[in-house]
Amino acid sequence: MVKKTQQAANSWSDHYTQKAKREDYPARSVYKLQEIQQKYRILKKGHSVLDLGCAPGSWLKYAAGMIGPDGRLVGIDRTPVTIPLPPQARTIAGDITDPQTLAAVDGMFHVVLSDMAPSTTGQKSVDAARSIELCRIALSIAKDRLLPGGTFVCKIFQGEDFDTFVQEVKALFGKHHLFKPQSCRKASKEIYVIGIGRG
């Protein structure tokens, strides 16, 4: 019985991995953003988008299609993105905690995305604390770079400070949502906090 359950879980995971390969995305994570887009319509033609922790580039590629050739897309990651991207997208190889990295990003944005995750230790409390730290950095960048009415999407590992972070997002946006895409691995503690309507 256990073996069947594990096989089912593996086949579910493989479904998205195989689909990503067929559709020429470098990672299965693209389907998380796709589900968010289908539910909340956060990306629109002509939008400017900042993607934090953008490697290997699946979210960049999907977002570029949603915003179209008149949009603008900037991705930042310590790991360089090597996949081909359309002209409206560019990437910066650097750490988001480095002021020089952020100084290389021009202008303001309609949407700030963060799919960042810490290097996991297997200790849930430690991993959650590290995730919260990244989320707060992302939220700080969103405060500085989002246009009025803008949208913030952030992956977070649920832990001790989760509710506090949600309240911080709630205070900055007209609406907020918690959303766990079906494409998330079932055992994962990750969930997405979405803030819509930057004040």
Question: pTM for the complete prediction?
Answer: 0.90
Q: Residue 6: its pLDDT value, please?
A: 40
Place of tokens 């650097």: 94
Q: Residue 12: its pLDDT value, please?
A: 46
Q: Residue 67: its pLDDT value, please?
A: 98
The one catalytic residue in 32, 44, 45, 155 is: 155
Backbone torsion region of residue 109, taken as left when φ is above 0, otherwise alpha when ψ lies between -120 and 50, otherwise beta? beta
CB 51 within 8 A of CB 59: yes
CB 8 within 8 A of CB 37: no
Q: b/e map of 25-41 (b: 16 or more CB within 10 Å)?
A: bbbbbbbbbbbbbeebe
Domain ranges of the chain: 2-198
pLDDT in tens, 43-77: 999 999 999 999 999 999 999 999 999 999 999 99
143 CB-near residues (< 8 Å, 6+ apart): 172
Parts of the chain with a pLDDT under 70: 1-13, 187
Q: Report the percentage of the chain scoring pLDDT > 90.
A: 74
CATH number of 2-198: 3.40.50.150
Half-sphere exposure in the Cβ direction for 93 (13 Å, CA): 5
Confirm whether 155 is a catalytic residue: yes
